[in-house]
Amino acid sequence: MIYHIPALLHESIDGLNIRPDGIYVDVTFGGGGHSMEILKRLTTGKLIAFDQDDDVRLNIPVDKKFIFLDQNFRFLKNNLQFNGINSVDGLIADLGVSFHQFDEPDRGFTFRQDAPLDMRMNKSGKVASSHLLKTLDESSLADIFYKYGELTNSRRIAKEIVAARIVKPLVSVSDLVNAISRLAPKRQEHKFYAKVFQALRIAVNHEIEYLKEMLEQSLSVLNKEARLVVITYHSLEDRVVKNFMKTGNFEGVEKKDFYGNVETPFRIINKKGTTPGDEELAINKRARSARLRIAEKI
């Protein structure tokens, strides 16, 4: 089975503007698609890759230029320093889950197959999605579905879950799907369940918080003219990245100097972002929500 097909591969690696002797970081190694492409372009340079999922070990290349760290990218700076690296010439993040994580029957990332409600990217993490569904109160659950799934009926979803869990704990994908099936709009069921599952996954893995932590640290590890290259898969994370690249903060509030000039740590390379073309989508439908953003440190 294919581990992963990298999205926007050439556009993103070209966007890194690789120097053959430079030091680069891939904070989301996964199947190693982006990493392998970076390695091809290095001669004396180095690539440090992060991933919190142990399963990616299968994909680690034997290459003296490559260092793998089985760490969460929220600890980017400390881990680089621990390995004697204070600054880098480019960073790539290809966010979200890999095909492997999504398709593994026992990991519970998708409503398409029954499995325990897990959704942890790091299998030694303490909190699975079943735990959130069991312990959070109704309004916290509603917040998750509203914030991370952009579901307008988030309160009703939370209410159905709380009612169902009184009768029987929700421990499997089918338990959850059955609990909320009454709310799934006709002929839009898949879209609805996909959003519910996405919301839970983002909460379980603290995806937005950790993305922000990593981006903040990138400011102090990227050299001048180093590129920050990020591929996002939903509007919430895209907004975080877009605002950060534009202003250096997550609210997107421009700071001006004494003369009224906008102060920003980055020069934006592709203002609107880059999305996959028809050719890519013909071979990789799952890349359809990908958006690539590239910025250069000033």
Ligand X SMILES: C[S@@+](CC[C@H](N)C(=O)[O-])C[C@H]1O[C@@H](n2cnc3c(N)ncnc32)[C@H](O)[C@@H]1O
Q: Phi-psi region for residue 115, left (φ > 0), alpha (ψ -120 to 50) or beta?
A: beta
Identified binder of ligand X from the candidate list 16, 42, 117, 121, rule CB under 6 A: 121
Handedness of CA 266, 270, 276, 279 (dihedral sign): negative
210 binds ligand X per the rule CB under 6 A: yes
Place of tokens 């409600």: 117
Give the range of 90-98, 163-171, 182-190, 265-273 binding ligand X by CB under 6 A. Answer: 90-98
Least distance from C-beta 87 to ligand X, angstroms?
20
Residue among 34 and 165 whose Cβ is closer to ligand X: 34
CB of 111 to ligand X, least distance (A): 19
Task: Tell me which H or E stretch contains 132.
Answer: helix 129-135
Return the SS3 of 259.
Answer: coil
Q: Is 234 in the site for ligand X (CB under 6 A)?
A: no
Q: Is 50 in the site for ligand X (CB under 6 A)?
A: yes
In this chain, which stretch among 27-35, 153-161, 241-249, 281-289 interacts with ligand X, using CB under 6 A? 27-35
- Give 286's DSSP letter: G
Distance CA 6, CA 159 (A): 38
CB 15 to ligand X: min, Å: 14
**With respect to ligand X, which residue has the nearer C-beta, 25 or 179?**
25
CA atoms within 13 A on the CB side of 69: 21
Is 72 a binding residue for ligand X by CB under 6 A? The answer is: yes
Sort strands 46-50 and 66-69 into parallel, antiparallel or unpaired: parallel
Residue 36, helix vs strand vs coil: helix
Our CB check for ligand X shows the closer of 6 and 248 to be 6
162: its two tokens: 């709380």
The contacts of residue 278 (CB under 8 Å, 6+ apart) are none
Residues 232 and 22: their CA atoms lie apart, in Å, by 25
| Candidates 46-54, 109-117, 141-149, 196-204; binding stretch for ligand X (CB under 6 A) | 46-54
Q: Which is nearer to ligand X, 72 or 129 (CB)?
A: 72
Span interacting with ligand X, options 24-32, 165-173, 247-255, 284-292, rule CB under 6 A: 24-32
- For the CB of residue 53, give the shortest distance to ligand X in the complex, in Å: 4
x/- map, 91-120, ligand X, by CB under 6 A = ---x-xxx----------------------
Which residue intervals of the chain are DSSP H helices?
Answer: 9-15, 33-40, 76-82, 99-103, 129-135, 138-149, 154-167, 173-180, 189-204, 207-221, 235-247, 278-283
Which positions touch ligand X (CB under 6 A)? Answer: 4, 6, 28, 30-34, 50-53, 56, 72-74, 94, 96-98, 121, 210
